[in-house]
């Protein structure tokens, strides 16, 4: 169903401005969507589990900055060992996520609050590291993620697709993925069946953190810089995207693929509104209304008794 929504939107925008339906524009949408997708996939894992994660803005900024610093420290070019920065950044993301999960699951703080606070901490740490400055990366080899194109799409898009598939595999074919759905479906029963709930929760948040850090790296690839606001505006947008794509906030319904569709829907709307020349003071409102419509259309409400 969400796919139909997406299709309708594409047709609609194309109708109003044929330029919309062009390889180049799709590439542009894809670029905008790549980091955004990573974040949404991350948070989707958490939502499947029936929890929520609001720490993405902090995590993305923090990891993006960590990445830049490491990259420069190791020579400032991919060739001269700057590549080391990539695993390091991803590791940092995973660790920060695990910490986030630990505070939530071990200290028994509802994820909404713990992750919100951890988000503050993340941004704070980012400010602390940069002192508010901007860290730029000018290495052309690394930036080829953005500049080098295959089939009209920049490399970073393929990276995103790669980790999209990775995400789907985790969701469908691993114990972790299975347990996420179990916990989201009925945590007490999962626990009684010997699912290690605590570990699963922490793992899930760590996984989310990993994806956030991917987003961080892609952001740098996209903008050639990192600062403490690199992750700004991602929080509500990513959760919205997930829901628009058909992931249910009450858990256990939907998955990574839905996240993809949701991200595309939102990205298409954002791009389309400018492309058809909608005055910018209307854009937020229109986005809001379209989101509601999309959610109404894309959630299967047959077996929901009530929703909060």
Which parts of 13-72 interact with other proteins (CB under 8 A)? 17, 19-20, 22, 24-25, 28, 31-32, 50-52
Site for other proteins (CB under 8 A): which residue of 107, 163, 218, 261? 107
**In the complex, what is the shortest distance from the CB of residue 173 to other proteins, in angstroms, rounded to a whole number?**
4
- Residue 76 lies near other proteins (rule: CB under 8 A): no
Element spanning 153, H or E: strand 153-154
Does residue 222 bind other proteins (CB under 8 A)? yes
* Alpha-carbon dihedral 209, 210, 212, 215, rounded to 10 degrees: 170
Q: How far is CA 35 from CA 276, 295, 305, in A?
A: 24, 22, 35
Count of residues touching other proteins (by CB under 8 A): 114
Identify the residue among 68, 82, 90, 104 touching other proteins (CB under 8 A): 104
What is each CA distance from 277 to 156, 205, 221, 266, 271, in whole angstroms? 28, 40, 28, 17, 10
Interface of this chain with other proteins, residues 169 to 188, rule: CB under 8 A: 169, 172-175, 178-179, 181-182, 185-188
Binding mask 116-155 for other proteins (x = CB under 8 A): xxxxxxxxxx-xx-xxxxx-x------x--xx------x-
The residue range among 69-77, 79-87, 202-210, 276-284 that interacts with other proteins, by the rule CB under 8 A, is 276-284
Least distance CB 22 / other proteins (angstroms): 7
- Write down the residue that tokens 């999962």 correspond to: 190
Whole-number Å distance between alpha carbons of 293 and 19? 25
Minimum CB distance to other proteins, residue 244 (Å): 8
3-class secondary structure per residue, 214-255: HHHHHHHHHHCEECCCCCCCHHHHHHHHHHHCCCCCCCCCCC
Tokens of 167: 């995400």
Looking at residue 150, the DSSP 8-state letter turns out to be E
Question: Closest separation between CB of residue 291 and other proteins, Å?
Answer: 5
Q: How far is the CB of 278 from other proteins (least distance, A)?
A: 10
Nearest CB to other proteins, comparing residues 4 and 292: 292
- Asked if residue 73 binds other proteins (CB under 8 A), the reply is no
Kindly report the number of other CB atoms within 10 A of residue 301's CB atom.
8
Minimum distance between the CB of residue 144 and other proteins, rounded to whole angstroms?
A: 11
């Amino acid at each position: 169903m969400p796919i139909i929504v997406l299709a309708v939107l594409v047709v609609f925008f194309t109708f109003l401005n044929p330029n919309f339906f062009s390889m180049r524009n799709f590439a542009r949408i894809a670029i905008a969507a790549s980091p955004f997708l990573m974040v949404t996939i991350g948070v989707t894992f958490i939502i499947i589990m029936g929890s929520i994660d609001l720490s993405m803005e902090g995590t993305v900024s923090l990891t993006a900055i960590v990445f830049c610093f490491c990259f420069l420290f190791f020579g400032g070019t991919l060739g001269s060992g700057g590549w080391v920065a990539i695993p390091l950044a991803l590791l940092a993301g995973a660790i920060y996520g695990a910490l986030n999960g630990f505070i939530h699951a071990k200290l028994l703080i509802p994820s909404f609050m713990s992750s919100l606070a951890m988000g503050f901490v993340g941004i704070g740490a980012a400010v602390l590291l940069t002192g508010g400055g901007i860290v730029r990366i000018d290495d052309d080899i690394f930036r080829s993620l953005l500049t080098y194109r295959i089939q009209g799409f920049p490399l970073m898009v393929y990276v995103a697709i790669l980790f999209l598939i990775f995400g789907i595999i985790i969701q469908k074919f691993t114990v972790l993925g299975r347990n996420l759905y179990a916990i989201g479906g009925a945590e007490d029963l999962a626990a009684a069946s010997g699912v290690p709930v605590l570990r699963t929760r922490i793992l899930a948040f760590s996984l989310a953190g990993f994806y956030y850090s991917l987003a961080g790296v892609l952001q740098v690839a996209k903008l050639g810089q990192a600062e403490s606001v690199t992750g700004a505006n991602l929080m509500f947008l990513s959760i919205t995207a997930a829901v628009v794509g058909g992931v249910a906030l009450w858990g256990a319904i939907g998955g990574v693929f839905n996240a993809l569709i949701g991200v595309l829907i939102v990205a298409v709307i954002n791009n389309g509104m400018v492309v058809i020349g909608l005055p910018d003071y209307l854009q937020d409102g229109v986005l809001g209304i379209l989101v509601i419509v999309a959610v109404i259309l894309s959630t299967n409400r047959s077996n929901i008794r009530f929703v909060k």
